[in-house]
Copies of this chain bind each other. A is one copy, B any other.
């Protein structure tokens, strides 16, 4: 259980650091940053709201809110889904892409400095595998 304790504390501390870094670098929150990252990797830089909510692990209402914020900032735009009139596509704008490219290095730096670089290659691999298994279990038994 001490392991879980350490895990929990470290994560919270790291989250705090990340928020701090992103806020000062681009006025972004961590959830907003994650949205930009996922959109940047999606085909056509666009993704359905529900799918986006699933991958970033946010509630539908939280995502609606954050996408609205990002829309106001001009980093994301909304499109109606051509194949489903109920659906909405969140699209990463060019400005959003530029913003992401500007901020990403500093973000990666923080994650690496405090977490990634503190594990050996084998530890990192083992940890990643375990996380993936846990993630799958958590998602499938939702």
Contacts and interface: CB of A to CB of B under 8 A. Distances in A.
A86 interface: no
Nearest to A123: B126
A8 to B, nearest CB: 8
A130 B128 CA distance: 13
Nearest to A31: B12
Interface stretch (A77-85, A95-103, A132-140): A132-140
A115 B6 CA distance: 13
Interface residues of A, number: 41
A131 B115 CA distance: 8
Contacts of A70: none
Given A10-B131, A123-B127, A138-B17, A111 B4 contact: yes
A115 B133 CA distance: 9
A116 B9 contact: no
A115 B4 contact: yes
A131 B57 contact: no
